[in-house]
Structure 1
């Protein structure tokens, strides 16, 4: 093995991560045919087949999987070594790949993205929106952002926001047709907008808390004429009067403030842990990620969040 083979090893890891020559080539900015030729040359040099190829799928062979397990840590160390040179100069640089949910993107990152990119012009931010809990290491991400209650135990979690509150809301047009529910039991008489998880394909069960202490939480199975796996689409449907919405309060704060949506069942509202950035415990945080975390914490600390809401 020599240094001339390093680009082929990087290409090999990228194809393995994507499970596709086309997607890996698009990310790398080369043609799929050039990438395929690079992998074939590597296989010839190693005298082993690394991938099984079909017209629909690219999968690692057993030997390829074993090779990847050894190659990935070495490539990560090389990338960290290169980035450490910039860190020694105190300059954040490189591509920062973050996996996060739609609501985390809309609430935490996108309102402040322009300022972050101006402050750190040598950091390229890549956001991958995904409602599942992704394998940040296996899929090549620096970190993920999810609600604290959904994080795996072997992850380091850094809180980015305070507690969040759920709100049930509907449009004035909806309540012109239906009476406001007084308790969650009344929801059986209402058209509820339902969210389908993209990974499990299950329907989200609405969560509430008893109004009196101790505030025990419970779930309600709702019914309705509209189902989606996109939160923005669900909010738009609620604004049109299609049905009732069950969502994080901050996500619809403008609609609540201007009367496009009216809140109900406030006494039963559930409060839960906010968003956290997560990464494996064995990974040392690079400067590009450290400045991103500090920036988000700066923007979402309680006093800053309070100013933003007024």
Structure 2
């Protein structure tokens, strides 16, 4: 029985991606090629690894057993190849990073663009995702999350400056409905609500002089991204609660007015995290050093503003 390593990698990729189509798109081939590869692997093994329907796949018991042993083995192979990468003078290869939209927009993309200019042999793939994922299982080199609440087997590196939320509304809305001066004044206003991918609605937290207040906003409009919330606020649909980075330009242009600024506490920064036990490639080590240097350079600028 001859089993090809690339066929085993294809099997693991299909399961991780959740189907043949997504796996084919990631590898840059057709779905039929992925299906043929799986068929050849199952034929060589003499056992079915996946149950297929027209819309989904399900891993069989045999497939689960194989995956349990296969994933660590593939990680070891990737680590061995990454060690060879150390011998190169220039970091190379592909970095895959998972991050929520706000971190991608305001921290990760600018950082990645500058990094790629400094390291032309490195490719970067950024996946914007608000859901919490297992970056190792999903094949990412690193992830970005808010604050430092991470698993014990992860290393976290601060990414960018501390954050704060801005509560904003259009001048027209505030003229018509009045300007809140304390968080409780938001009751009765049209607040633009945010629903997270898991289905929960965001609450708005405030703090001042040791007093903390948390409000479950009420309003007629519920959205799922800061970009949409800003559009709605500019259009006079209500009061939005977004990261300050999103609101800065519309505030400067006079399209939005910040309210309750003295109730908006400073929050932790974004953190770049990566597995502690996994061997880092030369490209990943270069990116980590680049991120640390960029954060150190940003700190004095933030302190002076």
Q: Which category describes the TM-score, using the shorter chain as reference length? A: over 0.9
**Alpha-carbon contact 1:109-1:296 (below 8 Å) kept:** no
Q: What TM-score comes out, normalization by structure 2 length?
A: 0.92
| 1:36-51 map, 5 Å | 36-51=35-50
**In 1, distance between residues paired with 2:76 and 2:10?**
16
Structure-2 residue corresponding to 1:127: 126
Q: What TM-score comes out, normalization by structure 1 length?
A: 0.91
Partner SS for 1:98: strand
Structure-2 residue corresponding to 1:192: 191
Residue 99 (structure 1) aligned with residue 122 (structure 2): no
**In 2, distance between residues paired with 1:18 and 1:284?**
23
Residue 164 (structure 1) aligned with residue 163 (structure 2): yes
Q: CA deviation at 1:181?
A: 0.3
**Alpha-carbon contact 1:108-1:296 (below 8 Å) kept:** no
Q: CA deviation at 1:73?
A: 1.8
Alpha-carbon spacing, 1:183–1:300, altered in 2? closer, same or farther (3 Å): same
Q: CA deviation at 1:263?
A: 1.2
After superposition, the C-alpha distances for 1:132-167 in whole angstroms (9 at most, x for unaligned) are: 111111111111101015534443221113321122
**In 1, distance between residues paired with 2:101 and 2:191?**
21
Q: CA deviation at 1:302?
A: 5.4
Q: CA deviation at 1:304?
A: 6.1
Structure-2 residue corresponding to 1:7: 6
**Alpha-carbon contact 1:96-1:288 (below 8 Å) kept:** yes
| 1:1-310 map, 5 Å | 5-148=4-147, 150-198=149-197, 200-209=198-207, 211-212=208-209, 215-301=210-296, 303=298, 306=301
**Alpha-carbon contact 1:105-1:129 (below 8 Å) kept:** yes
**In 2, distance between residues paired with 1:268 and 1:9?**
54
**In 2, distance between residues paired with 1:133 and 1:172?**
36
**Alpha-carbon contact 1:256-1:263 (below 8 Å) kept:** yes
**In 1, distance between residues paired with 2:281 and 2:290?**
14
Q: CA deviation at 1:83?
A: 2.8
**Alpha-carbon contact 1:83-1:93 (below 8 Å) kept:** no
Q: CA deviation at 1:125?
A: 0.8
